[in-house]
Structure 1
Amino acid sequence: MGDGIEVTVKVLFFAKARELSGTEVSDLKVDAASTYDYLLNKIVNKFSLGKIRNNILLAINEEYSGPDAPIHLKDGDEIAVIPPISGG
């Protein structure tokens, strides 16, 4: 993926994602030039989130990112893993 430059980002987990991953926050090495699908797959595989994969939203530095948008990451960027919201 990308240009081969790796950066370390901070991954924040909320609700069900926090429960499944067993952590609130973790560092993750990823390619600086990424795509949404690459990041989603990397996070799902590393943190055992397969059960909720199809319902997760990612926010990069507090902004939602769409599946088609190219993503350029720097060391220290934050990726929030936002699982499905339950309620009624």
Structure 2
Amino acid sequence: MSTQPGQWRLAPGATAKVRSGFVGGSKFSFYAHGEGGSPEWSGPFVTNLPQQAFDWCWNTAGSSGTNRGLQKLIVPTTSLDHTVVFS
């Protein structure tokens, strides 16, 4: 597992806490893929993502990465420990 912001590598069945503290009502975006690129969890919000670790706001960009479609995640306001399962 990488603990650098913006980039995580997890073994099958592993978990990671990406953010600590109350996040209810917050919006996040994510892109994920399995080993070799499949399966893939992407969405309609396309942006350029770098190969190195990053911690960006949406309007930050670079030209050395790859365009990826991100999914939007809106955490319910009542959620104290929100979990996203990729399967």
TM-score, scaled to structure 1: 0.23
TM-score, scaled to structure 2: 0.23
Q: Which has the higher strand share?
A: 1
Structure having the higher Rg? 2
